[in-house]
Amino acid sequence: MSRGSGRRLVSVPTWEIVIIALVTLVAMEPVTYLVHRHVMHGFGQGWHISHHRRRRGRVERNDLYPVVFAGLTVLVMLLGVVVESLAILLPIGIGIMLYGLGYLFVHEVYIHRRLRRFESRLPGFEHLADAHALHHRFGGEPFGFLAPVVPRSIRVREAEADARGLTRPRQALLDNEPVTGTQRETMAPRVSSASSFAPIVHAATEVDERR
């Protein structure tokens, strides 16, 4: 690819672009895990907590995260195109973009059904929805999106909650619906304390049916 002057815009060979993009795509899962856990559920939860509340419209404040990340990705790719010494940023940006597209479909469309016309259930994606429902149920692990790992402790916690009668349909968990028949039935999830760094917790973990 070149301008009219003949100067190359991209100095990275095609095969290197493919390899770097694929490596970046794979690396994005642990990077996203860290961002989700330490930023979205940490100092940046001011935006993200909207995603753990019942949505009252078509958009939520958490949507600012993918908008910002998409903008940064475009900037990275642009630098890789116009600055020859930064050409490696182009395939890195492509890998990030591919991950972002995967996230858009899996998280927004398939799991949370942001496009109501898409109701298909795909066997290969069902375990992703199950894992993410646990994240919404307990406000913690798993933090991954495209390759989530559910710790054994979360499975045990799930079984204990189910044994206490706190079972809910998966989509109700993903829609952040409180437990029916409890004192928090009409309340949305909240931050557990006044600290801005407090973990996001949910009605299912706050209600003790034994009281």
Which of 97, 101, 100, 122 has the alpha carbon at shortest distance from 110? 122
Specify the DSSP class assigned to residue 209.
T
- CA 189-192-195 angle, 5° bins: 125
Instruction: Determine how many CB atoms are found less than 10 A away from the CB of residue 120.
Output: 8
- CA 66-60-171 angle, 5° bins: 95
CB 126 within 8 A of CB 185: no
In angstroms, the CA 116 to CA 200 distance is 27
pLDDT at 23: 97
pLDDT at 10: 57
pTM: 0.77
Per residue in 73-116, pLDDT tens? 999 999 998 988 899 999 999 999 999 999 999 999 998 888 87
Calculate Rg over the CA atoms of the chain.
20
Which of 70, 98, 78 has the alpha carbon at shortest distance from 9? 78
In angstroms, the CA 139 to CA 173 distance is 11
pLDDT at 20: 95
In angstroms, the CA 40 to CA 37 distance is 6
pLDDT at 174: 81
Residues of the chain with pLDDT under 50: 1-7, 9, 181-211
User: How do the domains of the chain map onto residue ranges?
Assistant: 14-206
In angstroms, the CA 46 to CA 44 distance is 5
Encoded tokens for 63: 């949507």
pLDDT at 57: 78
Q: Which residues are within 8 A (CB) of 189 and not within 5 positions of it... i.e. 6 or more apart?
A: 52, 53, 139, 176, 178, 200, 201, 202, 203
In angstroms, the CA 191 to CA 46 distance is 10
In angstroms, the CA 75 to CA 96 distance is 12
pLDDT at 207: 32
In angstroms, the CA 163 to CA 196 distance is 32
